[in-house]
Each structure stands twice: as structure tokens, then as C-alpha cells.
Chains A and B, each alone.
Chain A
Amino acid sequence: MEEIIQLLVAGLAYGSIYALVALGFVLIYNAVGVVNFAQGEFVMVPSYIAFVFLNLVGLPFILAYLATIVVAGVFGLIFQRVAYYPLRNRSFLPVVISTIGASILLQNIALVVFDAQPRKPNAIFTPGEIFEVGTIRIVPQYVLILVVTLLLVVFQYFLFEKTSLGKRLQATAQDKQTAQLMGIRVNRMIAYTFIYSAILGAIAGILVSPLLLVSKGMGGSLALKAFSASIVGGFGSVPGAIVGGLFLGIAEKFASRYISSAYEQGFAFIILIVVLLFWPQGLFGEKISEKA
């Protein structure tokens, strides 16, 4: 029983990270109809920024994290301007290739600036520290990940459903021409989407880098899993991305424990293929046209 709870907590924690990155994918996809293959770098770059603020500048945690989020937002904007905006009137593939190129470029910039050694950011919780509930050992960072993700999902719900900005973002995602006719500044909304997506990546990076360490390749496998998660959930669906991420995180842990640990990294893709075969629209596929 305690084993199941521990697997569940770890699965939910990693699932939350997949969900945050998957949200970044889905929001950009909805806004501009393009898959951003540099989504992993939206996690990696802010993780390095947080490392600089925490370890090199020596800011206290809250300040360092806020500064990271601000810089990540700026990074998202620059990314939008450089990698997407010049190609905005082209078809799907040139933009996808552009994001893949940006991903490779950013990884190599990280390699040049920080060399290849992974970095350990200062963390709120000391590594190896746990708290015990009965005989169950809970890693505090996992709880932090869960709480922050939950808060973020609630925040995002209010942002998109209850504010005028959210409505304009949704309108842009649903139909750019009509939105433009309604006087919504579509390009600005798209820029906001990239900024928000980068901020989601920054939060995922801040949460996960004490566990994974900061390295240039840290975003790659996260992005791949998150991509699978968003397809499992139904590509384009916001709740689908969240549920898909959590589902994948948990499934991975249980499959690894009870089927075979050798293929832990493969289960995400096995699930993906099964879902594509039987529910090609994903778990929440029908809602594509309704949600931002």
C-alpha cells in the first residue's frame, strides 16, 4: 500500500511537469496552429536563468524565481519574434523546422555559455530530505510541484474564462480572422501566448531542476513526454494536456515497477500508440474546437 502511494506521488509529480510542458505545447498550437519543438528549451533556458539568479547572483528564493519568470517571459517574446513571426504567413512545416532549429541553437548556446557539466541550483529543500507520513516517505519537492501545478491550473482557468484578456486569447485561438474583425489585436495575443507558454516552461523548470539538475539536454525528454501527453489527452485540448500529463506520469511509474523497469522511458510512447490506434482524437479530442 505504501509502495502504491509513493509511486502515485512520484507519478503525479512528474505527471504535473509533463502537464505544464504539454500546456505550453497546446496553447501555442491553438494560437498559431504550429507545434513548437523548442518547448523543451522553454524549460531548459529558464532553468539556467534561475540557476544564475540563485547561485551566481545569490538572490533569495522568491526574488530569484520571480526574476526568472520575468526573464522567461521576455525570452518567450523574443522567441516569438525571431522563430515564429517572420514565418507567420508560411505553412505548417517551415515554422516547425524553425522551432527545431531554435531548439538546437539554444542547446548549443547553453553548451557554450555553461559548458557541459550539469549544475545544481540552490533548492528550498535539501537533497535527500523527506518527510514521513507513517511509513510512507514523501519527497517535499514532489508536494511543492503538485501544489504549484494545482494553483497554476486554477489561475489559468480564471485567466481564460473570467477575464477579458482570456476571452481575447481564446477568440484568437478559435478563429483569427473573426477575432481580428472584432477588433482584437491578434498578433499581440499570439505574442502573449508565447510569453505565457515560456512562463509555464519556466515554472516547470524551477520546479523540476532541483530534482534533475540543470543541463542543456534536460528539456528534451520532458518535451517528448509532454508531447505524447498532449496527444493522449487530445491535441489542442487544455484539460486533455493536464489529464494526459498526469496519466502518463502515473502510468510510467506503475508500469516500471510492475511490468519492467528496462522500458520505463518507452511506456509513454506505447501508451501514445495505443491511444492513437483506438482513440485517434485523444481522450478529450472532441473539445478541440471549443477550448483555447
Chain B
Amino acid sequence: MKPKLSSAKISLLVVLTLLLASVLVACGDPTATPAPAATTAAATTAAAVATTAVAGATTAAGATTGGADSALGPIPKGAAQLNGPIIIALNTEITGAGAQTGELARKAAEIAVDKINASGGINGQKIELKVEDAQSSNTGALSALNKGVAEDKAVIMVGPVKSTQILAISDRIKELQIPALIGGTNQSLTKQGNTWLMRFRPDDSIAANAMTNFLLGDLKLSKVAILHDSDAFGTGGADIIEAALKKEGKAVANRQKYTTGTQDFTAQLLAIKNSGADALTLYGTNAQDDAIILRQIKEQGIKIAIIGSPSYAQTIVSDLASDVTEGVYVVTDYFPGRTPEYEEYAAAWKAKFNSTPDALSAWNWDAIHLASRVIAQVGTDKAKIRDTILQVKGFKGAGGAFSFSAEGNGRSSVDILQYKNKAQSFIKTVAVQ
């Protein structure tokens, strides 16, 4: 007979419990992070006044460099005396569930650094990019932050892009006093009094409100269903859609959830199909899930208006689900390919990686370009870098125009696109005041 059956069974249960625990931890509520006390350490001395002037100069430099083949151009030489290379940490997911997005972010950051270094760096100094792996987890993002500051001695950090991770490391960012150029879109991130967070993407309220307004106003539909990822991002987006519908006096026709990495959506889609909804909003985190959802929507014969969250515009969806995207609307940070700044980004991407540039990752490129301009002006003093970025108005990047609010939000508009004949076509820009 089988030897050690009983101990084997016990070990089995132990391992199983551990696995279950890890599954449950992954589902934990990230918003449980305690809100930090609001302590703004904004410089109010004469230095700040000087910084303001520099910010003006930076803005002007950003706005005036035009030209067809070199939209952003080299970093304008500034007053700052720089000693040694400028170290930028990229806090992104190289391993784990988010590795797809992380890899695209790394590529976008790499081409930005290559570009700047090839055209003379920042006041003659090269940028060194240190990619730190957030391991697709909150603790991973924290250790990536610590490593970036303590070992790499980075002056700024780009990332993370996941709101959950940013919430988890927000307090530590404040302690370390490092300008964090983030891509997380959860509205609350910039509302907790952490002045070191600067957001390079439009927040969820902008995207979710635009989705609702587009369905009700432009398409004149009224019975809106929601299918969303049950993580903080998806739930947050769905809540905003529900609130926006309520404001218009409409109830949600049907609201369904799924966990990231779900393989089959038959149950959710049948519920939506049989609810009589005339429009479906999709709020997803993971583009691979999005691709599967779009295929199953077609399989279920759901023929209502569909509008997806920004991840539905990612190349993963347009490449992998090209057979089933026809007619689907997507709210995205910006519609790529309409500006020389974007062309420059796309050309750099194609030259280095020979693949379709990922529009949603362009904010990494923009963050590095904008930060480099600021560093050229004010040097590597982190507080000065932060204060200057917060005063930038009208910087034209590959991913649209950036004008920072005092809270640290750089973008205030989204674009709506539609898949037509397997390609994305521009519908309209929705700006929020």
C-alpha cells in the first residue's frame, strides 16, 4: 500500500491551506490602507518663488519645441548644475500577474531614456534607468520603492501604475520624500494629502463619467449594465458609473463582477443578456480578460452598445481579439496617432522593439521627458522637482497635454474611440473641469 499516506494527507492539507490563504490575500481589500494625515510640506519660502519662475520657463520650453520629426526634441539646457548621472527608478511589474503591463511600461521608459541620452542627456548628464520589479504585489511595490531610493539613489520614481500598489506605498513615498510619477487612476490617490504623488493619467472619475455621459447623451441609451473586475480599480470605476447613472435618474440594469484571471464569463454575460439592458459598460483591469470577454460577448449574441474602460484599447485586446472588437467603444487616456509627439514615441518604439507601440504606456515616456526638463532647470533637489512639476501647465506629451492641478493631477480629459474594421477610430474628446 501507499506508504506515509496519513502524513501525506496532512501535508496536502497544509499546502492547500497556504494556497487558499494566498488566494484570499490576493482578494484582500486594498482600500483598507489607512489614510495618512494630511501634512503638506509645500515650500513657501523664497525658493518656491524662484521655482515658479523656473516652472514658467519649463512650460515654455515644453510648448515651443515643435517640429514634425522631433516633436519633443532634446531636453532644453537648463540652469541646474548636475554632478553625475541622473537616476530614475521605474517601479513596475516585471514578474507576476501584471508582467504584461509591466513589460510595456519598461519599454516605454527605456525608449524615453535612450532618446534623451542620445540627444545629449540632461545638461550633458546621462539618465540611468533602474527598473525595479514590483512583483505584481503591494509588498513587491514597496520593496521596489525602497530599493530604488536606498540602493539606486533615484531622484524620481516612475510608477507604479496600479492604484492598489500606490495606496500601499503612499505613506512610504511621503517618508522618503521622493517625487512619484504615478499612473494609478483611482481618484482617491491624490486626495489623501500626499504631495509627492503626481498623476500622469486621467483619473477614473473622468473615464467613468465620460462612459456614462456618452451612452446616455450621445447614444441616447438608458438601460446600462456593468461588468467589472472585482479589484479596487474595477469596483471603483463601476461605482462611479452607477453614481453617474443615479444622478441622471437611471438605475443600473444589471451589475456583474469577476475576479482577475477568470476564464469563462458565460454566467455573467447571460445575466446581462437577460436583463434587457441596451448598453454595457466594461470596467476591466487585465487586457487578457478583456479579450476573452469581448469574444464571449459575441458568442452570446449580445448586440447592444458596448463601451470599455481604457484597458480595452491596449494592443493586447486589439491584436488578440481583433475578430470580435467590431463596433466596441473604448474610453482611453487619449487617442494615439494624432500628434507629432505621439508619432515620435511610436517611431522610437518601432525602431527599438519592432512591434506595435502601446499607447497606454506612453505616460511613462511623458513622465520621464517632463521630469528631465524639470531636472535640467532645478537640479536634483527632490522638493524642487516636485514643486516645479506641480506648476507645469500645457506640456505636450505623446499622451496628450499635461497641466497639473495642486492635487497632482496632470490630465483632465479622455478620448473615446471605436473599433471599426479591426482598427481604432477617433470619436471625440471629453474634457472634465
Chain A residues in 8 Å Cβ range of B23: 224, 265-266, 269
Question: Is B20's CB within 8 Å of the partner chain A?
Answer: yes
Chain B residues in 8 Å Cβ range of A14: 263-264
Pick the residue among A92, A174, A211, A265 that contacts B4 (CB under 8 A): A92
Q: Give, as a whole number of angstroms, the nearest-CB distance from B20 to chain A.
A: 6
In the complex, the answer to whether A117 meets B267 with C-beta atoms within 8 Å is: no
Question: Is A241's CB within 8 Å of the partner chain B?
Answer: no
In the complex, the answer to whether A213 meets B299 with C-beta atoms within 8 Å is: no
In the complex, the answer to whether A35 meets B12 with C-beta atoms within 8 Å is: yes
For chain B, the count of residues having a C-beta within 8 Å of the partner chain is 52
Question: Is A257's CB within 8 Å of the partner chain B?
Answer: yes
Q: Give, as a whole number of angstroms, the nearest-CB distance from B305 to chain A.
A: 17
Instruction: Say whether, besides A96-B11, A235-B12, A3 and B274 are in contact (CB < 8 Å).
Output: yes
Question: Is B192's CB within 8 Å of the partner chain A?
Answer: no
Interface membership of chain A positions 10-44, coded 1 if the CB is closer than 8 angstroms to chain B and 0 otherwise: 10001000000000000000100111010000000
Chain A 88-103 residues near chain B, CB threshold 8 A: 91-93, 96
Chain B residues in 8 Å Cβ range of A116: 99-100, 102-103
In the complex, the answer to whether B261 meets A221 with C-beta atoms within 8 Å is: yes
In the complex, the answer to whether B316 meets A117 with C-beta atoms within 8 Å is: yes
Q: Give, as a whole number of angstroms, the nearest-CB distance from A35 to chain B.
A: 6
**Contact stretch, chosen from A123-131, A147-155, A187-195:** A123-131
Question: Is B291's CB within 8 Å of the partner chain A?
Answer: yes
In the complex, the answer to whether B267 meets A256 with C-beta atoms within 8 Å is: yes
CA separation between A109 and B324, bound complex, in Å? Answer: 31
CA separation between A34 and B12, bound complex, in Å? Answer: 9
Pick the residue among A35, A127, A235, A254 that contacts B321 (CB under 8 A): A127
Residue of A nearest to B274 (CB): A3
Instruction: Say whether, besides A116-B99, A116-B103, A213 and B320 are in contact (CB < 8 Å).
Output: yes
Question: Is B42's CB within 8 Å of the partner chain A?
Answer: no
Question: Is B34's CB within 8 Å of the partner chain A?
Answer: no
Chain A residues in 8 Å Cβ range of B425: none
Question: Is A122's CB within 8 Å of the partner chain B?
Answer: no
Residue of A nearest to B319 (CB): A120
Number of A-B contacts (CB under 8 A): 131
Question: Is B70's CB within 8 Å of the partner chain A?
Answer: no
In the complex, the answer to whether B320 meets A120 with C-beta atoms within 8 Å is: yes
In the complex, the answer to whether A217 meets B261 with C-beta atoms within 8 Å is: yes
In the complex, the answer to whether A261 meets B299 with C-beta atoms within 8 Å is: no
Chain B residues in 8 Å Cβ range of A216: 99
In the complex, the answer to whether B100 meets A261 with C-beta atoms within 8 Å is: no
In the complex, the answer to whether A128 meets B103 with C-beta atoms within 8 Å is: no
Question: Is A79's CB within 8 Å of the partner chain B?
Answer: no
In the complex, the answer to whether B323 meets A211 with C-beta atoms within 8 Å is: no
Chain A residues in 8 Å Cβ range of B266: 6-7, 10, 253
For chain A, the count of residues having a C-beta within 8 Å of the partner chain is 56
CA separation between A128 and B5, bound complex, in Å? Answer: 47
Pick the residue among A139, A221, A289 that contacts B299 (CB under 8 A): A139
Instruction: Say whether, besides A127-B324, A213-B291, A92 and B267 are in contact (CB < 8 Å).
Output: no
Question: Is A161's CB within 8 Å of the partner chain B?
Answer: no
In the complex, the answer to whether B100 meets A118 with C-beta atoms within 8 Å is: yes
Chain B 126-158 residues near chain A, CB threshold 8 A: none
Chain A residues in 8 Å Cβ range of B298: 127-128
In the complex, the answer to whether A257 meets B95 with C-beta atoms within 8 Å is: no
Residue of A nearest to B259 (CB): A265
In the complex, the answer to whether B267 meets A257 with C-beta atoms within 8 Å is: yes
Question: Is B432's CB within 8 Å of the partner chain A?
Answer: no
In the complex, the answer to whether B230 meets A118 with C-beta atoms within 8 Å is: no
Chain B residues in 8 Å Cβ range of A128: 295, 298-299, 323-324
Chain A 217-235 residues near chain B, CB threshold 8 A: 217, 221-222, 224, 227, 231, 235
Question: Is A277's CB within 8 Å of the partner chain B?
Answer: no
Chain A residues in 8 Å Cβ range of B299: 128-130, 137, 139
In the complex, the answer to whether B300 meets A137 with C-beta atoms within 8 Å is: yes
CA separation between A222 and B320, bound complex, in Å? Answer: 21
Q: Give, as a whole number of angstroms, the nearest-CB distance from A3 to chain B.
A: 5
CA separation between A227 and B263, bound complex, in Å? Answer: 17
In the complex, the answer to whether B267 meets A253 with C-beta atoms within 8 Å is: yes
Residue of A nearest to B26 (CB): A265
In the complex, the answer to whether B263 meets A35 with C-beta atoms within 8 Å is: no
Residue of B nearest to A34 (CB): B8
In the complex, the answer to whether B268 meets A261 with C-beta atoms within 8 Å is: yes
CA separation between A115 and B267, bound complex, in Å? Answer: 32
In the complex, the answer to whether B100 meets A262 with C-beta atoms within 8 Å is: no
Interface membership of chain B positions 262-284, coded 1 if the CB is closer than 8 angstroms to chain A and 0 otherwise: 11101110110010000000000
Question: Is A108's CB within 8 Å of the partner chain B?
Answer: yes
Chain A residues in 8 Å Cβ range of B20: 269
Q: Give, as a whole number of angstroms, the nearest-CB distance from A167 to chain B.
A: 18
Question: Is A87's CB within 8 Å of the partner chain B?
Answer: no
Q: Can you add 10 more A-B contacts, CB < 8 Å, to A6-B270, A33-B8, A261-B268?
A: A7-B266, A35-B12, A92-B8, A127-B324, A174-B1, A212-B292, A222-B263, A256-B268, A257-B268, A269-B23
**5 sample A-B contacts, Cβ–Cβ < 8 Å, listed by A number:** A7-B267, A34-B8, A120-B320, A127-B295, A264-B268
A-side interface residues toward B, CB under 8 Å? 3, 6-7, 10, 14, 30, 33-35, 37, 91-93, 96, 108, 111, 115-118, 120, 126-130, 137, 139, 174-175, 208, 211-213, 215-217, 221-222, 224, 227, 231, 235, 253-254, 256-257, 260-262, 264-266, 269, 276, 289
